[in-house]
Amino acid sequence: MEFQRILVYLVIFLSLFVTFFFLSIFIKFRNKEEKKLANPSKVTFVIPAFNAADCIERTVNAIFNSDYPQDKISVIIVNDGSTDNTLKIANNLTKKYPNIRVLSKKNEGKAVALNYGIKHVKTQITVILDADTLPKKDLLRKAMAQMEDKRLMAVTCKIIPSNRKKFFERMQVAEYAFTSFYRKLLHYTYALQTTPAFTVFRTEFFHKFGNFDAGNLTEDMDMGMRIQLNNYGVGYVLDSYAMTLVPRTFSSLKRQRIRWSYGTLYNLYKFRKMFSPKYGDLGIFFLPSILTGVLILFLISSLVIYNVADSGLNFFHRLSLGWRPSLLDLNLFSMILSLTDLKIILGVFVFLIAFGSVFLIKSEVKEKFSIIDWILYVFIYTWFLAYFYIAALFFFLSKKPQW
Amino acid sequence: MQEREKIRRRVSKVSYIAVILLIILIFLLGMLFGDWIAGLNSKEFSANQQKLMMDLIGLELKDKLISQKDICNLTWQDVWQEKVELGTRINSLELRYGKDNSEILAQKEIYTLIEIRTLLLLEEINQKCNQNFTIIIFFYTNRKNDPLGRWQACEDQGYILTQLGKEMDNIYVLSFDVNINNPALNMLKNRYKINKVPALVIKDKVSDYKTLEELKETI
């Protein structure tokens, strides 16, 4: 019991530490003005497409529907050995829009397809876009505005799920909202280390520091870490977004998240020398907090499961003795006294902070999700994420899983 | 290619220190608040215990001053209810402050004396007023490695006795922690030769652990 008490206090301490530190960043930077785009540069979108017949046209339409000067946009679609009509649709798009080029190659994975496309980029800016991701009209303009900061090598953006009806889809809406807020805070301190579905890059970075790592399960995080390793930054657009399809079922979500978790662990290990004061807050707080967050979730879920199981077993044991619960067993004095326990008081405090954060994140991220969905997200969904991480850790320590 | 301006990394020492101090403050405030509320509860408990002691003494004095048939009119049921409530509260205080807390042990000793006084009163009323209720004296331990007996068996017996009290009328259970070192309790233990726990004394007969069915049969 003593060990459990210490564990609870440790979890509460770590939770509060991480929360308050991020809150301090939010308070410091919340009124920071977003930049305006002065001189639009020519950009080239590189879209790796594998069996993307149902979404590639919509994605390309969205690109040319943006409020960015059309004559400054080029698109390279890399057909990555698709077995459906992707190539045919892509070729048709070259007739619809002037600045589209279609490359075709055998299927070797997203990273290889990206690198193949990047080889053909002639502009100073390369935009990596997933084939099933739809950028909002003003996204490119806002991302390019951030590129005015010369210390940035890339700018990414808020990603929001386009499918949001089923339980796991709604959980991901809450999750992506939380992630967007978290990434915005990281961006303020130049600590963002991932470059997902829509990212604007300076092409020079590929030339100087190499292309996407084909052997890496999360090549986007690898690229983000490489940018940070060389002391450049990744920007983040929060007041626009790109929309993407998220896993609809538990099994597809599980597969995706274990892969992402594995990739994160792999990259944290690969770039382990960045866990150093030499990298400032990134090295001593933000990178360790990725693992701390997982540890906190794992400990909380384990403690709750253990205590619920223990109480449950005790309850059934008492029933086996002939005892039956009744209202007579309730005692106000006992209930009040149990609430005076420090871990209960602090637990309630942490819960209130988490609850308060819902309103903060909703207003900053401007995403719609209900309080019920948030509660389910915090108390159930995140626990699954923690256990996916543990599964990924197991794979990481044993052998690489086959995807 | 001209070298691009890089990010200057820094460690936000002031922020870390401020956050740690804030968390320490929250922990301290939480502790103070919890202790304050618990302290209020504890004071209330002590006051209730004193009052009950006074009530018992009052009843005993009434018993000495009045005739035999009038003893049966004493309002001892209220005293019993208060005692039961105190018993529940002392369990809660033990859970909150720990079984080895010196203040709780002191309160528990006073409570033990209250129970003994209540036992004597009940025995007298039972005898003189033909009440025919059953008094069960329950000796237990709440120490995990007690050589006198298994703590788990004592806890189980406690739940069984609670259930018995709900199902049958006229059952009065008085529980004594064998590890309370008090002359009156020691005398009671010697009277029934208690050398292991859980031990039940029903109608002057000492027995070990009993299931709910066995207790119902005995009674």
The tens digit of pLDDT for each residue in B25-46 reads 999 999 898 888 888 877 887 8
Average pLDDT over residues A122-134: 96
Query: What is the DSSP track for A315-384?
Result: HHHHHHTT----GGG--HHHHHHHHTSHHHHHHHHHHHHHHHHHHHHHHHHT----HHHHHHIIIIIHHH
Average pLDDT over residues A256-278: 92
- Write down the CATH superfamily of domain B133-219: Glutaredoxin (3.40.30.10)
Task: Respond yes or no on whether ipTM tops 0.85.
Answer: no
Query: What is the DSSP track for B64-115?
Result: HHS-HHHHTTS-HHHHHHHHHHHHHHHHHHHHHH-TT-HHHHHHHHHHHHHH
Beta carbons of A159 and A242 less than 8 angstroms apart: yes
Mean pLDDT for all residues in chain B = 86
pLDDT value of position A152: 94
pLDDT at A275 over 90: yes
Beta carbons of A364 and A184 less than 8 angstroms apart: yes
Residues sharing a CB contact under 8 Å with residue A40, sequence separation 6 or more, in sequence order? A68, A69, A72, A141, A144
Q: Of A77-81, B88-92, B96-100, which one has max mean pLDDT?
A: A77-81
* Amino acid found at A299: L
Quote the pTM value: 0.82
> Residue B30 in 3-state DSSP?
helix
Which segments of A168-320 are extended strands (E)?
Answer: 198-202, 233-244
pLDDT at B62 over 80: no
Q: Cα–Cα distance between B74 and B97 in angstroms, integer?
A: 36
Mean pLDDT for all residues in chain A = 90
* CB-based contact A321 B211, cutoff 8 Å: yes
Top CATH class, A41-252: alpha beta
Of A282, A284, A321, the CB nearest to B156: A321
* CB-based contact B166 A333, cutoff 8 Å: no
**What are B81's two structure tokens?**
């209810």
Q: Cα–Cα distance between A340 and B39 in angstroms, integer?
A: 10
Alpha helix positions (H), chain B:
13-65, 68-71, 76-97, 102-128, 151-167, 183-192, 212-218
Q: Which helix (H) or strand (E) holds A19?
A: helix A2-29
Beta bridge partners of B212: none
Residues sharing a CB contact under 8 Å with residue B157, sequence separation 6 or more, in sequence order? B138, B140, B198, B200, B209, B210
Distance from CA of A54 to the nearest CA of B (A): 41
Chain A interface, mutation test: which of B1, B19, B42, most A Cβ atoms within 10 Å? Answer: B19
The pLDDT > 70 percentage for chain B reads 93
Of B4, B26, B163, the CB nearest to A16: B26
Q: Is the dihedral of CA A80, A82, A87, A89 positive or negative?
A: negative
Of how many residues is chain B composed?
A: 219
- The ranges assigned to domains in chain A are 2-27+283-398, 41-252
Beta bridge partners of A157: A237
Beta bridge partners of A161: A244
Alpha helix positions (H), A30-153:
56-64, 86-96, 110-118, 139-146
pLDDT value of position B70: 63
Q: What angle do CA A15, A17, A22 make, to 5 degrees?
A: 100
Using beta carbons and an 8 Å cutoff, which residues of B are at the interface with A?
1, 4-7, 9-12, 15-16, 18-20, 22-23, 26-27, 30-31, 33-35, 37-38, 41, 45, 85, 88-89, 91-93, 95-96, 156, 159-160, 162-163, 166, 211-213
- Report which of residues B70 and B161 the model is more confident about: B161
A11, A17, A23, A29 alpha-carbon torsion, rounded to 10°: -140
* CB-based contact A17 B19, cutoff 8 Å: yes
pLDDT band at A67 (very low <50, low <70, confident <90, very high): very high
pLDDT tens by residue, A372-403: 888 888 888 888 888 888 888 888 888 655 54
Residues sharing a CB contact under 8 Å with residue A366, sequence separation 6 or more, in sequence order? A239
* CB-based contact B159 A230, cutoff 8 Å: no
- The ranges assigned to domains in chain B are 44-131, 133-219
pLDDT band at B74 (very low <50, low <70, confident <90, very high): low
A32, A37, A38, A41 alpha-carbon torsion, rounded to 10°: 140
